[in-house]
Structure formats: C-alpha cells, structure tokens
C-alpha cells in the first residue's frame, strides 16, 4: 500500500486551511503544516484537525516547502497549498492509487481556480496542470516567486483524474493586491536575469498582446464578466512587471 505525507505551508490561512485539511483527510497517512508564525487561528485549526504543526521563519516558498518535505516520513508526498482542496473525484483517484502498484514516480493534477465564486475554465487558467504527488526524495523545489519542481533522477509522470480546487481569489481587490506584490518580485527577477527591457515592446505592446491572447485565443470571453476582469488584470500585471523592471534599471544607471 502506498502511504502519503501531505505537506502544506501556511501564513494566516484561517479562511482556507480547514477546507484544505478536510479534503486531504481521506487519503493522508500524516499531515505536516509548516507555518511562518501566523497571527490568526491557523495553528488552532491545524492542530484540531490532527496535523503535525511546525513553526519556521519565512525564507521563501521553495525553502518552506523543501523543509516540509524533509519532515515527511511516508513513501509519497502530496504537496498542496492552504487555499487548495481535493475534489471528490481526485480524492477517489488518490484512494485507488494508494492500493495499486505503479510504474510512475510522480503524478500531475488539473487545477481548477475559483474566482470570486466562479469556476474559471478558460483564460489559459484551465487545465492548470501541476505536479503535486511524488515519491519522497525524488523531487525538490526551486525558485522564489513561481517555484518549480526539480527531479533528482528520471521523471516518470502520469495524471490523476479529478480537479485540485483552487480558492485563490475571493475578491477582485485580493487579486489586485497580490499582483502588486508579485510584480515587485518578478521585476527584481528580470533585473537579476539581465533581461533587456524595450519600452515599446514590453511596456506598450506586451500588455495588449497578453489581453488579446487570453481573452480571444484562450477563450476568456466564455467566462463572461470575470473572464474579462481576469484577462484585463493579467495584462496589467505584465505592464506592472516590466514598468517596475524598467524603472529599476534606470534608477541603477542614475
């Protein structure tokens, strides 16, 4: 039988962590929560759900997730964010996985995002395929903003049926606030990579082409009002990222 350690990183996730923990209970042999000193009820909710709770100072997404993976004692690791939950179909897929033999060392899942109460199936947001289940010690995390999984050996990946439900954007204001902070990190990464920022291309044209791609080519218009909002904000996010990077370069020259 395949045993699973569920690893979750948290910071002030009282609005989400309960839903996440309830969804993984049917498949988890242990649940590890790595918290960055939350000031809300995250710890209380996690402990009441039977999770192993660990405090660790924040050093970035990858560092926190790798630390949690190191605490895992089971054969397989399921990495899930606090604002995510397993759908019933995905729960059943993982229950079947636990009692079967497999030639794979990792599994991907389709992530379905809830935006202000609406499930987004276009805009390039679905299927947002993510690697989330793997054999312990096969995978580690790398990167600061959009962390990536890196295999130590040969990658043998399959897909599990069912959706990973992502409750990431309860309000439009939440989305806008997040992109402002994320664009700061993304701009700094552009500077570190020495990417050449061309004003007419990256700051004027890139946001326009981003909107056209998401709204028309990736069928964002089929998601109605929220599809338009998502595509518009995504375009603005690119504008912010490149504008901030351009500003940083000009400031450094001065």
Q: Does residue 12 sit in the same domain as residue 132? A: yes
> pLDDT value at position 91?
98
Q: Does residue 59 sit in the same domain as residue 85? A: yes
Strand 52-55, strand 30-35: pairing? parallel
Q: Does residue 214 sit in the same domain as residue 107? A: no
From 169, 193, 208, the end of a domain falls on 169
Q: Does residue 112 sit in the same domain as residue 180? A: no
Q: Does residue 9 sit in the same domain as residue 96? A: yes
Angle at 171 between CA 167 and CA 174, to 5 degrees: 90
> pLDDT value at position 28?
98
Q: pTM of the prediction?
A: 0.93
User: Tokens at residue 93, please?
Assistant: 């897929």
Helix residue ranges per DSSP H, the chain? 17-24, 42-48, 61-71, 88-98, 172-192, 206-212, 224-253
> pLDDT value at position 121?
98
Residue 22 contacts residue 50 (beta carbons within 8 Å): no
Q: Does residue 155 sit in the same domain as residue 178? A: no
User: Tokens at residue 187, please?
Assistant: 């701009």
pLDDT tens readout for residues 121-146:
999 999 999 999 999 999 999 987 67
Range of the domain at 69: 4-169
From 112, 141, 169, the end of a domain falls on 169
For residues 220 and 123, give the distance between their C-alpha atoms in angstroms, rounded to a whole number.
Answer: 4
From 137, 169, 201, the end of a domain falls on 169
Q: Does residue 28 sit in the same domain as residue 93? A: yes
Q: Does residue 160 sit in the same domain as residue 226? A: no
């Amino acid at each position: 039988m395949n045993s699973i350690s569920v690893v979750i990183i948290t910071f002030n996730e009282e609005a989400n962590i309960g839903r996440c923990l309830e969804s993984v209970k049917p498949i988890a042999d242990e649940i590890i929560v790595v918290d960055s000193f939350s000031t809300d009820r995250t710890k209380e909710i996690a402990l009441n759900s039977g999770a192993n709770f660990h405090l660790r100072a924040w050093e970035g997404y990858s560092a926190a997730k790798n630390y949690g993976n190191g605490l895992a004692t089971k054969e397989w690791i399921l990495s899930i964010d606090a604002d995510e939950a397993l759908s019933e179909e995905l729960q059943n897929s993982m229950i079947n996985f636990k009692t079967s033999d497999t030639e794979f060392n990792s599994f991907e899942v389709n992530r379905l995002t809830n935006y202000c109460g609406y499930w987004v199936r276009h805009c390039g947001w679905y299927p947002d395929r993510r690697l989330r289940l793997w054999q312990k010690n096969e995978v580690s995390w790398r990167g600061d903003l959009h962390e990536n999984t890196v295999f130590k050996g040969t990658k043998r990946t399959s897909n599990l049926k069912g959706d990973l439900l992502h409750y990431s954007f309860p309000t439009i204001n939440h989305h806008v606030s997040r992109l402002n902070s994320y664009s700061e990190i993304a701009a700094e990464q552009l500077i570190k990579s020495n990417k050449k920022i061309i004003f007419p291309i990256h700051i004027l044209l890139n946001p326009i082409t981003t909107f056209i791609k998401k709204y028309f080519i990736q069928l964002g218009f089929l998601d109605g009002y929220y599809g338009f909002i998502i595509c518009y904000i995504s375009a603005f996010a690119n504008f912010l990222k490149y504008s901030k990077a351009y500003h940083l370069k000009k400031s450094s020259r001065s």
